Amino acid sequence: MTLSLYDSRTQSVRAFEPLVSGQVGIYLCGPTVQGLPHVGHLRSALVYDQLRRWLSAKGMQVTLVRNVTDIDDKVLENAKITGEQWWALAYRYELEFNKAYGALGITPPTYEPRATAAIPEMLDLIARLIAAGYAYAAEDGSANVYFAANKWAKYGELTNQRIEDMESTEDADPRGKRHPQDFALWKAHKSGEPESASWNSVYGVGRPGWHIECSAMATKYLGSKFDIHGGGLDLRFPHHENELAQSLAAGDEFANYWLHNGLVNVAGQKMSKSLGNSIFAADLLDSARPLAVRYYLGSAHYRSVLDYHEGVLDEAESAMARIETFIDRASRRLAGTRFLKQLGEDLLAVLPAAFIKAMDEDLAIPSALAAVHESVRSGNAGIDNEDLEVVADSLVAVLAMTQILGIDPTSSYWSAGKSSEQDVAMDALIQALIAERNAARASKDFARSDAIRDQLKAAGITLEDAADSTHWSVN
């Protein structure tokens, strides 16, 4: 395999070799469903969708697991505020996340486990940690169980920190905790929390800590050693550090590669609840076509910060429009000619070398997009020069590249329900003008036919005449 990926654990770009030839297992930290999805959630899910699509294009069989954290302090707090059952609130937000992921063409995970459906596996992992001497039940009988961070010599290896330098963990409930860095594996039930948010265990009634959830779910679905663990940069510490420590301490080999995606800034500022500058999924999807939103969210390198500011969606719209106009023009020019090619199953065969190189080099999406636009440019030049061979090659290349990036505008995914009532109304008006222009031309009233063309042009609409039809497009 020629793919290389930046592994956060070794802090180096490593050649990617799957554990089992031809198969790749990926675990992604999914959302804690306590509120609405924002742009950061979408970007994180999307960059791993790009990775998954690239691995699939390279012939890998990918198993992607993305969990849902449906039990958490915040879920309980927010449910108290709204007066809902905590599980009803969690499910309501889970649906919002799925709606947003779906709108952006993010392929659903192979498996999407909810934390509350893997409690036995979490308790099993906790028992193994206690048996190995790396975890302890609080001696005050509170039912809290903690991971003994100072017992695990490699604690801090993922984020390259020494335990002495770390901040103490902010456990809401420090009852029976021995050291400041110890973190909760099992949280004792507290009075005031609903009965339904607690489970029986040998330590007493409680619920799982966040970190143990992901360790248990990852190995439940992917085995004790798997290929890739991914998530946002904000999850590296303490969440991923703790996942790694407890899984290794329990004897699992866990993830072979750790990938972290960069966060989203808003106009150069970190997005945060306290600043009130959060961009929610619904805001984005209201401001532009989902296809353009996807283009924008997937346009930066996955490890860089993606900045959201005025105009970014317009830029994405124009970039997509250039691609769409070319596909449209090329398809019409090639229709019925011997040059027209069908895009087969083997996408790799028609990809430009620059695109393959970019994707293989730690998913250098900006360079991959440059390859798309380069093919669009040469294809357009081919149309202008009547070099239909070039047009045909460029067309299949653009279709294959956009398919891999999940932005193929011809995919039925994007066109389903695409025509809005406004589109239909506009098409009716323009078709009437085209018919009038054709009639004027037939009667050699060129002043009138030119006037109609100019009128449309002034409105930003271009006409292109083919042998027996006229096509219109918005500039």
Strands across the sheet with 306-308, in order? 269-270, 264-266, 306-308
Q: Check: CB of residue 448 under 8 Å from CB of residue 454.
A: no
* CA distance linking residue 105 with residue 108, whole number of Å: 9
* CA distance linking residue 225 with residue 256, whole number of Å: 7
* CA distance linking residue 406 with residue 404, whole number of Å: 5
Question: Residue 45 has which token pair?
Answer: 């899910």
Question: Residue 474 has which token pair?
Answer: 């918005």
Q: Check: CB of residue 38 under 8 Å from CB of residue 279.
A: yes
Which is nearer to Zn ion, 214 or 216 (by Cβ)? 214
* Shortest distance (Å) from residue 219 CB to Zn ion: 12
- Binding segment for Zn ion (CB under 5 A), chosen from 28-36, 257-265, 290-298, 423-431, is 28-36
Report if residue 29 touches Zn ion, rule: CB under 5 A: yes
Which is nearer to Zn ion, 252 or 324 (by Cβ)? 252
Q: Check: CB of residue 14 under 8 Å from CB of residue 7.
A: yes
* Shortest distance (Å) from residue 232 CB to Zn ion: 10
Report if residue 64 touches Zn ion, rule: CB under 5 A: no
Tell me which amino acid residue 221 is.
Y
* CA distance linking residue 109 with residue 131, whole number of Å: 34
Which of the residues 213 through 252 are near Zn ion (CB under 5 A)?
214
* Shortest distance (Å) from residue 241 CB to Zn ion: 11
Which of the residues 250 through 289 are near Zn ion (CB under 5 A)?
none
Which is nearer to Zn ion, 214 or 398 (by Cβ)? 214
Which is nearer to Zn ion, 125 or 214 (by Cβ)? 214
Question: Residue 460 has which token pair?
Answer: 């930003």
Which of the residues 195 through 214 are near Zn ion (CB under 5 A)?
214
Q: Check: CB of residue 254 under 8 Å from CB of residue 218.
A: yes
Report if residue 76 touches Zn ion, rule: CB under 5 A: no
* CA distance linking residue 263 with residue 41, whole number of Å: 9
* Shortest distance (Å) from residue 376 CB to Zn ion: 39
60 beta partners: none
* Shortest distance (Å) from residue 159 CB to Zn ion: 15
Which is nearer to Zn ion, 170 or 421 (by Cβ)? 170
Binding residues for Zn ion, rule CB under 5 A, total 2
Which is nearer to Zn ion, 29 or 372 (by Cβ)? 29
* Shortest distance (Å) from residue 65 CB to Zn ion: 11
Which is nearer to Zn ion, 244 or 368 (by Cβ)? 244
List contacts with Zn ion (CB under 5 A).
29, 214
